Each structure stands twice: as C-alpha cells, then as structure tokens.
Amino acid sequence: MSNKISLTLPDGTKKEFDQGVTSLIVAQSIGAKLAQAAIAAKLNGHLIDIKAPLTADGAFEVITMKSSEAPEVFRHSLAHIMAEAVQKLFPDAQFGIGPTIENGFYYDFLLSRSLTPEDLEKIEKEMHQIISKKEEFSFQTLTKIEALEKFKSLSQPFKVELIEDLPEEKFSVYSQGPFVDLCRGPHLPNSGFVKHFKLLNVAGAYWRGDEKRPMLQRIYATAFNSKDELDSYLNMLEEAKKRDHRRLGKELDLFSLHDEVGPGLVFWHPKGARIRHTIESFWKEQHYRNGYELLNTPHIGRAWLWETSGHLDFYREGMYSPMKIDEFDYYIKPMNCPFHIMIYKNQLRSYRDLPLRWAELGTVYRYEKSGVLHGLLRVRGFTQDDAHIICTPEQIEDEILEVLRFSLKLWRAFGFEKIEAYLATKPEKAVGENDRWEQAIVSLKRAIEKEGLPCKLDEGGGAFYGPKIDLKIKDAIGREWQMTTIQFDFNEPERFDMTYIGVDGQKHRPYMVHRALLGSIERFFGVLIEHYGGAMPLWLAPVQVAVLPISDKHTDYAKTVEDKFRQLGVRTIIDDKGDKINQKIRNAQLMKIPFMVIIGEHEQNSGKITIRKRNGENITQVDFDAFYKEQEWIKQSI
C-alpha cells in the first residue's frame, strides 16, 4: 500500500505528498504568499480545513479570502466567534446550532433572559476584541463516547442530543479561545481574517424546529469580505425596510392579517382586491391567448383522492386534519393536481386530444408552523396560479419551450427583467423510467438554452417524481425571489393510471407537467409591493387618478371630470373634503396615486385639466382627451 497521495492542482499540475500532509503544507509547496493567504482548501469539490490531514488522491485547490467559497468559511467562523462572545457575556448560555445562510449566519442560544439591542452592541464589541487577538481555530477528532463526555462536562445538552442522534462514530470538535463547539468545519486559521460584519436582529426559534421543544434566541448577522460590500448590503436592508409589504399593505390599505381569526389567512381590502382583480384578469386573458383552458375545482376531496395521489404518504404534515362527512374523511386541498387528473380521466383520451393545457387559480390550504409565517410571503391559505400540461412524448419539448417563453413574457409584463433559471436533475431515489427522465431533462435544458437564460445546475436536486426548472427573479433592489416552477411528474400519472390512445390504437402513458408561473397570488402580490415600493405602475394601480377640486365651488366640475374618467374605465376617486389643496395633494401622494387632476378656476373656465404626477411633475392646462390617449390605461397584450 502506497504511503503517497497524488494531488492535481487547478492548472493541471500533479504533485505527490506523504499521506497525512496538511493543506497548509501543500499551499507552502506552491508558494509562500499563497500559504499566507490560505484560509481553507478544497479536495474533490469538498471544502476542508487548512490543517486537516490529506489521505486521498484528488483535485486540490487552495481557498483564499478572494475565492468564491470564502464566505462560507469566514461566515461559519464568525458564527463561532459570536458564540464565544455570547459565552463570555452569558457564562451559562446553552448553544444550539450556528450555520451559514445567504449573506450571513446565525446562532441559536438558550439564555437566562431576553436579549436587547444593547446586548447586540456588547456582543459585537466583544467579537471585535476576539478578532483583534487572532485566536487560532483548532480541531480534534473524538470518538462518540469522548464527544458525549466532552459536551456533558461543558453542560451543553443540545450538543449532547445532536451527538446521540447522529450515526457517526467520530466527531470533529473545534475550539478557539475558551469556546468549544461540535462542528464539521472548515474554519479560518485564526479569527484575525475577518472584520466586516454586523449583528442584525434577534428572533425566536424552537429547538430543532419543534414547537414542543425549548424556544431559543436566534441572533442573525451578516458578513462580507470588504467594507464596501457590507455597507452596500446594509443599505439594501434599509431600503428593504422602507419597502416592507407588511408596512405598505397597512399604509396603503391593501390587506390585513388577523391572528384572532387564523394566522396566515389573508384579508384583501378593496384596493388590494382591485389590484388582485387586475392581475387575475390579465392572467386569464393571457392564458386564453396562449392556448390554455381554465378550470374550477372543489376545495375538499375524500381521503381516497389524497391516498391515490400520495399526498397522505408524503405530505400529511402539511395537510389539515380531515373532516367527517357521511362517514367518510374529507381533506381540504393542499394541491390542485389530483382534481385536474380526475377531469382528465372523466373520458377516454386520444393522442388527437393532446396537448391539454389546463390552468386554475385554485385556493389551497397548507399547514405552516406559526414561526415561519411572514406577511403575504408565507401563509396558510393562498391561491396558486396552477396549470397542468398533459401531452405525448413527441410534444413535450415544444410544450416546455412554450411554457418557458410564456413565463418570461408574463414576468416582463409585470416589470421584472432580471431572471435566472435553476435546473434540478434526477435524485438518487426517483420514480419513472430512465428514458423519460433523460427526455425531460433534455427538454428543460434546450428550452433554457433557446431562451438564452442564465442557468445554474442543481445536480440531483429534482423531486423524486421528476426534474424541474425554477425561475428566480431579481427585484428593484437586487434581491432574488424563487417564483416560477416548471415540474415534471412521473408519479401521479402512474398512481391514477392516466392513459391516452396512441396512433397505434394502444394505451400509452402521457407526460404531465405541473406549472406555476407567479407561484401564488398572495406571495406574488407581496413581492410586487416591495419591488415597486407600493407605487404600482399605472395599469396596476388601485386608484389611477385622484380628482382634487381646489375649493367647494369647483366640486361640480370636478365630479364631471371624475365621471368622464370612470366612463372610460379609469379607476378614479374624488377628494371633495374640506381640506386645502396642498393637503389633498399630500394625501394622494401618500397613497401613491399615479395622477392627480387639479381642478380650479382656470380649469373650470377653460374646460381643461391640470395634471400633477406622483413624482411632483406638473402639466398645466391639458386637453382631457389628449391626456387620456397618451396613457397606458390598459395593459397591452404580450
């Protein structure tokens, strides 16, 4: 047995080393500057600690603070530094977990009291002191028994529970200064590599997500490799606060949530309902134009339906308890697809009937834990803009391309231009024939390529029942939102024995694709509010024009103008209260109404109107018809 290992460097160079050599020594063999900058390494695609012994051949790369993988390493290390600071300030703290997340990290703690904003400042200050000391991160490998003894002696029951539940027989334990943690790593060589971070807020989090377990305090933080990146992100967060759909929804009187009625259930107010009506009308019109038919299906179904579909096996925890009707169990629907399948099976289908494109704005109900509910973005009752495409194998590639094109056109119509695709392929455990999986993945890939979309591959990330495309959009302040899903399903056609009669006169299994473009009306509406900061484009605005008479003597003419707009289908209100005109203008601006029509003596005498836009621009003495014709009151077809 050889005592040597062979490492292939990024430039293709191969080097031999003794087994057990550390990544740091390998880095030193490449160059002193590289070794000095090294924070971790990558072997065969997996991040490893710079001090870890190497025992296998493979592709090797040194990770520095400039590497794309660096944030994972320094954010994870900062989570440990934060935990050390908390331990110093709260010696009796018990530690949960502290993973990295997008743009930052968090750590969960059980503490003797609730944290305050002042506590976060103290923790930050302590973290800077730890960083200034350049404390070394060191690790050791312990057996399961040794690891249990270690964390029992430290009075850390959450760590003990994790060790007991994990199947491993060996565990890596990291320490820096007095702090010790159970962790796979890797971590920075020492704490001095990081400087640019900010503790953001504290939230409650049940241990292991179980509402019956202790409630811990979760400190969220962000970190970047440069001050400019950190400042830019913090500025974005400030802008996000201004655009928070929950605040704007209340200020603009769009929707409300009432926990006393039921958490996660949305109440649409007149203005919000008006926007929703506009969205849904446009959605329906475009679906008809793109060859879809619209369905309406029940809200409940007998247990048989959900047993056949597999939801009671795979999704029971997300479904509400059954209700007993005529001695049968009925469930409120979490999905629309089984109902669409029942319509399909209502008659014998031929290849000549296919493809079928069936869409529904179907309201569904799913149980979400109270801790994850978030305004319109995470709710328990929502209307999914669902559709199912049922077709032959020969039709599938064209259908996928068309649904992707349709998705992109719809997003661009709503003002979203930055769109990226994520392609998720076959996982280890999957149903369906291999050739169907291969054809499905090829169809998804070709559609993405033909549309020229930037794409990231999620190898093995598909559902067990089929591959999918997820479309992620970027909003006005650069945040990414996962919205559209185009999902193959090889499971339900089998479970429901869906067939069609082919050219050969024999029964064949059709392809079925689930497709949600906007995702859900509620979540889309929340994203839309934040994207526009509540200032909806003209065609979506719940009130498009506010008619503002300067005084009571101008009210009659103002009502004539209001009625003229209404007859043309323009969403109009008149403010004929006794306020002064400046207050009326301010009120309209606060409601983010696109146009204010000012009616005074000049307008009344001339029969014209004065326009004030919500950005403050004034257009005086305008002919009514000319003004109306210039505006995009009705969204043009896409």
Residues with catalytic function: 337, 366, 384, 386, 388, 468, 514
Which residue reads 């504290």 in tokens? 202
- Cβ burial, residue 135 (10 Å; 0-12/13-18/19+): buried
Q: Alpha-carbon Rg of the chain, whole angstroms? A: 30
CA atoms within 13 A on the CB side of 386: 21
How many CB atoms are closer than 10 A to CB 242? Answer: 12
Indicate left, alpha or beta for 56 from its phi (over 0: left) and psi (-120 to 50: alpha). Answer: beta
Cβ atoms 404, 451 nearer than 8 A: yes
Structure tokens at 1: 């047995």
Give the bridge partners for 596, in sequence order.
546, 612
Structure tokens at 61: 């790369």
Task: Give Cβ neighbours of residue 616 (< 8 Å, ≥ 6 apart).
Answer: none
Q: Phi, psi (5° rounding) for residue 274? A: -65, -45
Q: Which stretches of 65-185 are assigned E, i.e. beta strand?
A: 94-95, 100-101, 104-110, 138-143, 170-176, 179-182
Cβ atoms 470, 503 nearer than 8 A: no
User: What three-state secondary structure class fits 117?
Assistant: helix
Task: Give Cβ neighbours of residue 16 (< 8 Å, ≥ 6 apart).
Answer: 4, 5, 6, 7
Cβ atoms 39, 64 nearer than 8 A: yes
Residues 377-394: b if buried by 16+ CB within 10 A, e if exposed: bbbbebbbbbbbbbbbbe
Q: Which stretches of 30-79 are assigned E, i.e. beta strand?
A: 38-43, 46-48, 58-64
> How far, in Å, CA of 625 to CA of 632, rounded?
13
**Distance from the first to the final alpha carbon of the chain:** 67
How many CB atoms are closer than 10 A to CB 249? Answer: 23
CA atoms within 13 A on the CB side of 138: 8
